Structure 1
Amino acid sequence: MLATTGPDVLVTYERSGGFAGIHEKVTVDGTGTALVNDEKVVLDDAQMRGLRRALRRVVTTESSPAGCQVADHFTYTLTYRGQSATRCLLPSDWRAAVERLEALTRR
């Protein structure tokens, strides 16, 4: 079973909220095994390289309530390199990583 916390986890991403009240969670370990909404997915080498490259661009590591006062907003939580941040407005430096992680939820 894939660990969802601990040193083997590369990144955890969650998106929740919106009009439909969705909750998506993606956890990827260092070997390329992901748990996507409780389903196991294996990333190939190219996907892992792209994800790691996108994650290296992440510099926003603090949570912010900005944008949370909007009705039916989404909340984004990214945990990477031992730091977790929650935002209601997606920081631009998260965008490439989030796009890759959300693509896994549409497989």
Structure 2
Amino acid sequence: MNRRLLAALAATLLLLLSACANRTGTAANGTGASTEPSPAGVTLSLVRSGGFAGVKDEITVDPGGTWTAADRAGNRRTGQLTDAQRIALQGLAADPRLRQEAARVPSPTSCADFYSYALTVNGMRISFVDCPTDTDRPEAAHAIVMLVTQAVGT
């Protein structure tokens, strides 16, 4: 899949998730179950390295949705995930495939000059190269990477 398609899929997921909640913060089905992120939230760190220019970006997200991004030159930015982004991140972090992806041994990549990612989400570490022709790319981890990098703007 190309990056534009993945970006469109991530944006669609965000829109669908945000459309399910009404303005009062209760579930759209009227059960009263909250759609707000739980107090525990998601703890995440992401390192993106490689590529043609040899980047090294580091992103952390705390359970409250506050993020910090730093690049190889030491430039730092901070921000806050929107409620919709936090909810989407929680849903992606609960994906049962993450545990399997963390346990897998990645095959050697068939690509050069692509980004390598090291994602740690709620204590599970998943590493992969963003090579579209690799057959074992961890799709759940990749969805989290797409969401976070788009939210942070890297």
The TM-score normalised by the length of structure 2 is: 0.56
Which of 66, 70, 80 is equivalent to 1:33?
66
Q: Which has the higher strand share?
A: 1
State the 1:83 CA deviation: 2.4
* Unpaired runs of at least 5, structure 1: 1-6
Q: CA deviation at 1:45?
A: 1.6
Moved over 6 A (4+): none
Q: Could you say which residue in structure 1 is the equivalent of 2:126?
A: 85
| 1:43 alignment partner, one of 56, 81, 100 | 81
Q: Which residue of 2 aligns with 1:4?
A: none
Q: Distance in 2 between matches of 1:81 and 1:61?
A: 11
**Relative CO higher for 1 or 2, CA cutoff 8 Å, sep ≥ 6?**
1
Q: Does the CA-based 8 Å contact 2:49-2:115 persist in structure 1?
A: yes
Which structure dedicates a bigger proportion of its chain to helix?
2
C-alpha deviation, 1:47, in angstroms: 1.2
How far apart, in 2, do the equivalents of 1:85 and 1:97 lie?
11
Work out the CA distance in 2 between the residues paired with 1:106 and 1:11: 16
| Structure 2, unaligned runs of 5 or more | 1-39, 71-75, 131-136
Q: Is the alpha carbon distance of 1:49 and 1:104 closer, same or farther for their aligned partners in structure 2, counting shifts above 3 Å?
A: same
**Does 1:70 find its partner at 2:116?**
no
C-alpha RMSD of the superposition: 2.4
Q: Which has the larger radius of gyration?
A: 2
Distance 1:95 1:70 in 2: 16
The Cα offsets for residues 16-36 of structure 1, whole Å up to 9 and x where unpaired, read as: 101011122211000111102
Q: Percent of pairs identical after alignment?
A: 27
